[in-house]
Structure 1
Amino acid sequence: MPSKLSLVTATLAAIFASTAPAQIPANCSRMYEVVADDTCDIISAAQNVSTFQLAHVNAAVINPDCTNLWVGEVTICLGLNGQDCTSTHKIVSGDSCWDIFVTEGIDLATLLANNPNVDNACSNIYPDEVICTASEVIAYDP
């Protein structure tokens, strides 16, 4: 009869063996390994990647509410070649799209095109969200 320790060891080994590493897209331009206390917004702000882009590029890895980031277990792609917006703005309380596009010197149409998660009235932006402020439209492939 196996000991409790060997059963626990065997169970853990099976769990880790069945957890396949995330597939990084071949055209990934930047990668990042998750560290303690990371959230999608923290990663986005620190790595100059919009919250939308991070979620879009890693849709197969990061769940919609970004609660499945585990230290050392997940390496994520920050942007794809030709689709990597590194010009970003971290939303602070009171920000409006007007403030952002005036401050960043871009037009509203470009701001909205590069941030398809933001509605036309910019009523769904929130503090700590990171948005793309590139002056040219980034064509995100579906």
Structure 2
Amino acid sequence: MLAITTIIAALALAANQAFAAPTEISQLVARQGYVANCNKTYSVVSGDTCNAIIGKLGNTFTLEQFYSWNPQVASDCHNLYPGETVCVGLAPAQPACPAPTQPGLVSNCVACYKVVEGDYCYAIAQAKGITVANFLLWNPSVNSACTNLVIGYNYCVGV
């Protein structure tokens, strides 16, 4: 009987430790985690739910965004604990092409080229392994004759 009581007590202790809320800050940070480009955080208080946090911050983001920024938060939000830190905002995406650029550069650009003296569309396209048609499509400010490239400006050469 003593062996059964000892086993039951050990199981109860293990279950309590496995399901207990974290109590130290180091446990909270390690348990949760959020996306690397998070630039705004919120410290959870007692009674908070995911929707309550969103509401407290003026409904400036959606529940779907909250979950994507905090991948370890359960989809029913049951695993938020007072004192833990969650992400509530992302750093703005950096443009693929640093300034200066011409207006109209495609938003999904992933590769850029800085024009130097003597450049022309065909040479840039050849060097970057793209077509002139795509270069013109991705850089709508460039005219079809390619006579208005601006030295020192960045142009999209990949999407």
TM above 0.5 = no
Q: TM-score range by the shorter chain?
A: 0.3 to 0.5
State the TM-score, normalized to the length of structure 2.
0.37
Larger RCO (CA under 8 A, 6+ residues apart):
1
TM-score by length of 1: 0.41
